[in-house]
Structure 1
């Protein structure tokens, strides 16, 4: 069991550390360009390639989509109540309990723990998170809904195309399957490198607040995931992936919203650093729980 957990956690920690050290050594790293390549090319190809090649039923993907919606909803309610009790503004901090870092950390872990099936299930979950971030994220942070921002998201386009292909039963041409598979290959390691670079640049402005919000992020995610796994009677890789995706640290994208709408970006950045470091420290336990839940 120890070796199994190490085989999952070690690659994640090493690649994140490489990104961190690369940035600390002041080596060239064009974060906006690399991030845009992952978001606009790699991630849509990963969604299309993984789901069209996955040996899982559409019903199972639908189950993951529903689980993601319910976990996000439960986390949002629990987070809102907690923030109200703590008298913290929702427009600044509600995004933290709502969405874990399912892209940079969740997808790699789901793939390493449960293989291709876990990756496909994780992508179904991640797609819901990405759409939620780019709709509810704008609504909460800005106080308004930007339809153009939602429609323009590459993950939305990829999701629509992928669902159409799956429902129609059309065979994907070999050249297209191979092309998207190759482009998809850059996503997971690059996401981990980006996370390491981000950790090297973000600072902790208020350690006490960051620690409290980090605990809340894990607690509401773990509670919402546990309730949904039991209520939906999930088992196997489905249950394990839901647990992993729901217990990830605060998403790095939160600081972008905070900076764009002037919502205390330094405090949000501090929470991302603390929650990510804490999750990395507790990664063996999270992975062990995922394996135990799936058994």
Structure 2
């Protein structure tokens, strides 16, 4: 049954986030060190192992990359317009519309829904979003930011290395690949638990704006994803998305704002209280939107 399948997929995600939230409220654990390790070690290991552990045809992912660009930039354009309509600063509202929680929620959601075969294409979506977030996203908040720092991001370096190894058809020494996969296995549960702890620490001072973005972010993302899937279906076979990639693109569009939006807003002094409310309410609303997106994907 579809309902049972939805519960089987979503329960582990929300259970780990809820556990992190409860622990965060009661004990206020200091996870900055663990989160730093996750960003610098565990997630790069996951990214590299997902791409280097199989033959990768880089050109086969090009339609998916272009679709992801349309989703991110299209959502940002809508966020910019929405900010002007609401008389808000576009730099506060546009980034949470553009950059979704494809790390904390997207990667585990893809893995639980479709298994290991979904990891590589979801990593591609994750990397596209990360590249834009650490370049365009930072530039929107600080026009003086040095974009050369992008190449110091460990997950970006791991993606480039993994794509190079996979595209060249090289075989990674199996014991080394197993070690990297074991490190990568740490990242997803730690992401979910850390998300719950972060949400427990997040203040809510802009409910109205949070609710508006909580609705606009997944609705615009899914609409753009559906439009791109439909457009590709009208093209030649080489430009059609594979069914798995199309399903992941729709899930990608439904994801809530990334927690990283709040961290960047705090770092650059861009109304962090408002961005915190947007992130928190948006992630709470994913309880409603992710089942809808999953139901659409599994029913097709």
With structure 1 as the length reference, what TM-score do the two structures score? 0.94
Equivalence for 1:67: 67
Equivalence for 1:153: 153
Please give the residue correspondences for 1:21-100 in structure 2 after superposition, counting only pairs within 5 Å.
21-26=22-27, 29-54=29-54, 57-100=57-100
> Structure 1 residue 11: deviation in Å?
0.6
For residues 64 and 213 of structure 1, what CA distance do their matches in structure 2 show? 25
> Structure 1 residue 16: deviation in Å?
0.7
* More off after superposition, 103-112 vs 75-84: 75-84
Alpha carbon RMSD of aligned pairs, Å?
1.6
Equivalence for 1:272: 279
Instruction: Give the 3 Å change call, closer, same or farther, for CA 282–72 of structure 1 in structure 2.
Output: closer
> Structure 1 residue 158: deviation in Å?
0.8
Please give the residue correspondences for 1:254-265 in structure 2 after superposition, counting only pairs within 5 Å.
254-265=261-272
- In structure 2, stretches of 5+ residues that fail to align are 234-240
For residues 195 and 54 of structure 1, what CA distance do their matches in structure 2 show? 30
1:87-140 superposed Cα distances (whole Å, 9 cap, x missing partner): 221222210111111111111111111111222211110011111111111101
> Structure 1 residue 45: deviation in Å?
0.8
Instruction: Give the 3 Å change call, closer, same or farther, for CA 148–55 of structure 1 in structure 2.
Output: closer
> Structure 1 residue 175: deviation in Å?
2.2
For residues 33 and 54 of structure 2, what CA distance do their matches in structure 1 show? 29
For residues 145 and 117 of structure 1, what CA distance do their matches in structure 2 show? 37
Instruction: Give the 3 Å change call, closer, same or farther, for CA 193–11 of structure 1 in structure 2.
Output: same
Give the ranges of 4+ consecutive aligned residues of structure 1 lying more than 3 Å apart after TM superposition.
Answer: 54-60
Equivalence for 2:202: 202
> Structure 1 residue 61: deviation in Å?
2.8
* More off after superposition, 256-265 vs 69-78: 69-78
> Structure 1 residue 144: deviation in Å?
3.1
Contact kept, 8 Å, 1:45 with 1:184, in 2: the verdict is: yes
For residues 246 and 222 of structure 1, what CA distance do their matches in structure 2 show? 5
Contact kept, 8 Å, 1:131 with 1:150, in 2: the verdict is: yes
> Structure 1 residue 147: deviation in Å?
2.4
Contact kept, 8 Å, 2:107 with 2:123, in 1: the verdict is: yes
Q: Tell me the number of residue pairs that the alignment of Structure 1 and Structure 2 aligns.
A: 292
Give SS of 2:61's match. Answer: helix
With structure 2 as the length reference, what TM-score do the two structures score? 0.92
Determine if the alignment matches structure 1 residue 240 to structure 2 residue 241: no
> Structure 1 residue 197: deviation in Å?
0.5
- In structure 1, stretches of 5+ residues that fail to align are none
Contact kept, 8 Å, 1:54 with 1:117, in 2: the verdict is: no
For residues 51 and 163 of structure 1, what CA distance do their matches in structure 2 show? 6
